[in-house]
Structure 1
Amino acid sequence: MKTSIKFLSAAALAASFSIPAFAAPETFTVDNTHTFPRFSYNHLGFSTQLSRFNKTTGKVVFDREAKTGSVDIVIDMKSVDTGFNLFDEHIQGADYLDTARYPTATFKSTRVSFDGDKPATIEGNLTIKGVTKPVVLTVTSFQAKPHPMLKKDAIGANAYTIVKRSDFNAGKNAPAVSDEVRIDIALEAVKE
């Protein structure tokens, strides 16, 4: 009987070493020097204009083993950069971004879907001018690896979605200036 108990104990101990450890979710802080949401729209049928926001903060949680994640982003709408100071001020007015009343926009994920080891789509709620709408971000690239300069784990991604300005009470001059706006985000984040 003692031999059986010793054998079972040894077998249980050996089995515990052979079970792979599950990675815990890791939290990454957005690198605001390499994270820029951009937006593009058709201007009067002449061209597609491209502008960006210069200040973004947030957190990303990523669990490679469980294939789960979450994204929580805050965009400083007053940091809009069209390349022309006068237009930056104009677009911050009440007819468009209304940054006096709504200085930030947010994106909070509700679901991340994976294709293999990488996120493929991120569903979530986008809030602009106090209006919240569900959107789906399509991830076009994703990388998780040690940062060569910071010597910490990091992630990077590119993703996009398409929204209508009018859905967020910012539809002035549509359709001459397209109601449809493509939002692209280039994101890098470093492990806490």
Structure 2
Amino acid sequence: MAHAMQREFTPLRIAVLTVSDTRTPDTDTAGDVLVQLLGAAGHELADRQLVVDDIYQLRARVSQWIAEPSVQVILITGGTGFSARDHVPLAISPLLDRQMAGFGELFRQLSYGEIGTSALQSRALAGFANGAFIACMPGSPGACATAWNGILQQQLDNRTGPCNAVAHIRSHRQDTLACASRSSPLN
């Protein structure tokens, strides 16, 4: 179980990317959920885009954000299923310097409680690229809420211990204490 540490909250600059061949900015309900949740948590929206599910357009958009020092987190919704048009894992995995395997595992576990064995069809993933944290989740508003409430909200809060992703995000790596030992008392 996560614990709150005695630190002041540090907001992050988060970009949201919706991957869809059918949605428009007016019908992007999953992106709307992420923007609302990150704002309610005190983070700042750095950018928001919508791209079609094309490997090279995905890589181009995400690579620009990875290279932009002011973008610290990239949340991607859509394109993580098994259809012939779901390219997010194939497009994003090669860009990651380090994968966070536990993200997909935990997301599927949380989803199982909500949608049963359909959770197996999610290829949700996360990791780090050039000091930016990237999380890819399914394109439904419910899946985005599950990922945020069950994983991302705590991992993107520098006050959550013993460990959180913020300790590994650019411009916070030197400012944030390393993960506390599970045996040490939390400050």
The TM-score normalised by the length of structure 2 is 0.30
Q: Rg larger in 1 or in 2?
A: 1
**Structure having greater relative contact order (Cα 8 Å, sep ≥ 6):** 2
Q: Which has the higher helix share?
A: 2
TM-score, normalisation: structure 1? 0.30
More strand by share: 1
